[in-house]
Amino acid sequence: MARRDRAVQELRVGAVGLVAAVTLLGCSGETRFDVFIRASELEQTAWRGACQLFYDEAQGALVVSQAKIEACLTALRPAREEYARAAEMDPSDQGYAQSLGQLDARIAKLEGMAKQLQRMEAQQAIDRARTPGVAPR
């Protein structure tokens, strides 16, 4: 009987040790969800800060500039990197890849806006130079 109790006690201690080890291993490091949440927070911060457009009362319109778009793209880069990390951590989960793809699409639109704005500003400079009596800026 004592032998049996001792074996049961050893089994319990071993089981508790195993559960503790698994728990510690599972808790160490960050999960793909942690990385995903950090990416989402970085993206939200960028959209609320550097990417936010402001209404100019004098012009009666939203103001967009090359510098504003570049600042927005710079602010979104860390979020993109974190989304990519989350997608790499679990390639089988398409949700992470989908979030990365959606951000990539928004970034591509911003880059397209920046190029279009650059062309418009260049054309505006050419038009000013060709118009007599108007000093170039």
pLDDT of residue 24: 47
Q: How confident is the model at residue 125 (pLDDT cuts 50, 70, 90)?
A: confident
pLDDT surpasses 80 at 116: yes
Quick one: average pLDDT of 7-19? 56
The residues that bridge with 62 in the sheet, in sequence order, are 55
Domain ranges of the chain: 1-30, 31-130
| 28-84: pLDDT as tens digits | 589 999 999 999 999 999 999 999 887 788 888 888 888 999 999 999 999 999 999
Supply the mean pLDDT for the chain: 83
